[in-house]
Chains A and B, each alone.
Chain A
Amino acid sequence: MKTKLVFLAVAAVIFNFSSCTDDSFVVKPSPVNLNIDNSQTPIVELGRVLFYDTHLSVNNAISCGSCHKQTLAFSDNTALSRGFENMLTSRNAPPIQNLNNGFFFGSSELFWDGREFFLQSMVLKPILNHVEMGMSDMDDVVERVRNLPYYGDLFEKAYGSPEVTADLIAGALADFTGSIFSSSTRFDQYMSGNQSALTAIEIKGKNLFFDKYNCNSCHQTQESNGYQMGGGFVNIGLDVNYQDKGRGGFTHNESDDGKFKIPNLRNIALTAPYMHDGRFATLDAVLEHYSHGIVNHPNLDPRLRGTDGQALKLNISDEEKTAIIAFLNSLTDFTMITNPQYSNPFQVH
């Protein structure tokens, strides 16, 4: 009996391995049209096509837009996105919005650990990442783009020459991602003086957010980038031991272990799951973390410590949670997520 069971188990494994090697795949492509929008800047338009073009991944499987979905404020609705071979990436895909801070174009602390400062270099990293898009080097990317018939025209319009270089690809992608801007939330209208833009419960939530719980000391929702420049990395007591050291993994400074970039709360209702690893599925779970789940860590942000030095328990009541979540929902920018200028130019017939 035992021998039979072992035999059956081994046979099942062998069967599955063999099914992986055969060609029993059922991939059926949906024909699509490439629609160029001539109403916007040619460089931004070129960047838009590149952003959504799956040819920029090693096996033509995914594009930047596969993990950064417009309807989700250019984030992904899964804890960890999947790369070109459906392998899990190491962190939650953050939303793309308001990355251009205006003064130094695209200069900011980018990625969850802030390891990149310029959009122009940041946009190439996922393309060359061995899990995300898998290209081995930029020469391969340039060669591919050069060989695709629709890029000659786009480069000509954007840069005055059909010549393709890595810098030009990066520049166009940076221009497109930098152009994605959110400024039309109901909270923006409220801040502009339209007092009726928020409902009573949303105003109550705003007051709790700004005053009682001082969430705004980190998440500066009135700022377009959502945090204070220069102080954008905090440890919020998620774990006692961080497998992913976050900022510390980049700076190699122990005092940065467990610190991650403060996310912009614009469109927060669309960007679930939350945190750098997508551990919280809902806003309610996030508030529950601040309410009762903060754990002590040497690098825990002082704003999350009580006067006794221990991790705070904010004890947010259910009623208050409802109000805060109502306020956070008012940060959704429907204009941005439906703007055709940010949409996928490859459209199904």
Chain B
Amino acid sequence: MRSFFITLALSGVLVLSAHAQSDTAKSKCLNHYVGVQINQFLKQIINLNANQVPFTYPYLVTYSVNSVKYGCGLNVGFGYNYQRLLDKNTPANHETKINDLFYRAGIGKRCMLSKRFTANVGVDYLGEYKMNKTVTSSVVDIGNQTDSSTTSSVTKETGNGFGVQASVYFHISERVLIGTESTFYFMKSNLKQNVIATELFTDDFTGEITSRSLSATNTETEKSDFTITVPVAVFLVIKF
């Protein structure tokens, strides 16, 4: 289902884009806007305060295509985060791989507020897929026996939702815009966690090994929430 939406969105973008190019010579009927979130970039070059709290907004790249005549169009957003973390917390070492994918697609209407300002309002379908896999291992010498444990935990969260967005852009030049957006989204998600731990006890004297499954936890939780994001994500947008 997810791949269907992604394919549909990408296909729409490519089709609309191709159409626009063929018509450029005549009269332009579509405007394309490609945006990139630049909060971290701005923080690197302008640090106005000592606040170290990381800012996270799921959509790194946005794309809109709008009719020049009517302002109506399609909006899509995409964000992806991959992290690999290795920790040594005596007595256990653990390694985590995190993959988070966020996407949204919707329709909207763009209008000029003034010569320099543009606004866009729209409704979106949104989805997320997060996966976290952590492997932990430890070997503890207790005196007369050794306790070795290996644990694997996998957490998958999938979510779907919908909501409205509103954004405002300032035209730095004809082709370059800078803007921000506010969203009001409802998201329903399902979280599945699976933990499998295996423990081996080795008797130091006899060499006898006892194996035990320490825990095999399977949990599934569902949650739904409304989230309002204030306009703090800054996007640099190129219009073409």
Partner of A149, one of B10, B147, B195: B147
B82 neighbours in A (Cβ, 8 Å): 16
A17 neighbours in B (Cβ, 8 Å): 99, 101, 131
B residues 74-97 with Cβ under 8 Å of A? 80, 82-83, 85-97
| Minimum C-beta distance from A76 to chain B (A) | 11
Asked if B62 is an interface residue, CB under 8 A from chain A, the answer is no
Asked if A348 is an interface residue, CB under 8 A from chain B, the answer is yes
| Minimum C-beta distance from A37 to chain B (A) | 14
In Å, the complex CA distance between A136 and B153 comes to: 14
Q: A86-B98, A285-B50 are in contact. Are A61 and B89 (CB under 8 A)?
A: yes
| Minimum C-beta distance from A136 to chain B (A) | 6
A85 neighbours in B (Cβ, 8 Å): 96, 132, 134, 153, 155
Asked if A293 is an interface residue, CB under 8 A from chain B, the answer is yes
Q: Residues of B within 8 Å of A, CB-based: how many?
A: 60
A346 engages B134 (CB within 8 Å)? no
- Could you give, for residues 119-150 of chain B, a 1 whenever the CB lies within 8 Å of some chain A CB and a 0 otherwise? 00000000000011111111111110111110
| Minimum C-beta distance from B225 to chain A (A) | 14
Q: A20-B131, A29-B92, A32-B91 are in contact. Are A58 and B217 (CB under 8 A)?
A: yes
A residues 72-103 with Cβ under 8 Å of B? 79, 82, 84-87
B101 neighbours in A (Cβ, 8 Å): 13, 17
A residues 1-56 with Cβ under 8 Å of B? 2-3, 6, 10, 13, 16-17, 19-21, 23, 25-34, 52-55
Q: A25-B135, A63-B89 are in contact. Are A149 and B96 (CB under 8 A)?
A: no
Q: A32-B139, A85-B132 are in contact. Are A58 and B215 (CB under 8 A)?
A: yes
B153 neighbours in A (Cβ, 8 Å): 58-59, 61, 84-85, 134
In Å, the complex CA distance between A140 and B218 comes to: 13
> Which of A106-114, A171-179, A223-231, A272-280 lies at the interface?
A272-280
Asked if A312 is an interface residue, CB under 8 A from chain B, the answer is no
| Minimum C-beta distance from A22 to chain B (A) | 9
Asked if A311 is an interface residue, CB under 8 A from chain B, the answer is no
Partner of B133, one of A3, A20, A53: A20
Grouping DSSP codes into helix (H, G, I), strand (E, B) and loop, the B interface class, with mixed when no group exceeds half, is strand
Q: Which residue of B lies closest to A26 (CB)?
A: B95
Asked if A344 is an interface residue, CB under 8 A from chain B, the answer is yes
B96 engages A86 (CB within 8 Å)? yes
A61 engages B134 (CB within 8 Å)? yes
Asked if B51 is an interface residue, CB under 8 A from chain A, the answer is yes
Partner of A61, one of B17, B94, B97, B141: B94
B53 engages A61 (CB within 8 Å)? no
| Minimum C-beta distance from A61 to chain B (A) | 4
In Å, the complex CA distance between A32 and B85 comes to: 22
Q: How large is the interface on A (under 10, 10 to 19, 20 to 34, 35 or more residues)?
A: 35 or more
B93 neighbours in A (Cβ, 8 Å): 27-30
B99 engages A20 (CB within 8 Å)? yes
In Å, the complex CA distance between A166 and B98 comes to: 33
A60 engages B151 (CB within 8 Å)? yes
Partner of A346, one of B54, B90, B95, B195: B90
B141 engages A32 (CB within 8 Å)? yes
B140 engages A346 (CB within 8 Å)? yes
In Å, the complex CA distance between A25 and B147 comes to: 21
Partner of B50, one of A21, A23, A281, A349: A281
| Minimum C-beta distance from B35 to chain A (A) | 16
Q: A residues bordering B, Cβ < 8 Å?
A: 2-3, 6, 10, 13, 16-17, 19-21, 23, 25-34, 52-55, 58-63, 65-66, 79, 82, 84-87, 134, 136, 140, 144, 147-150, 241, 273, 277-282, 285, 288-289, 293, 344, 346-349
12 further A-B pairs in the complex, CB-CB below 8 A; given A29-B137, A62-B89: A20-B131, A25-B95, A27-B95, A27-B137, A28-B137, A29-B148, A31-B146, A32-B90, A59-B152, A84-B134, A134-B153, A136-B217
16 residue pairs A–B, Cβ–Cβ below 8 Å: A17-B99, A20-B97, A25-B135, A29-B139, A29-B148, A61-B94, A61-B136, A61-B153, A62-B94, A66-B87, A79-B52, A79-B54, A84-B153, A147-B212, A149-B142, A278-B53
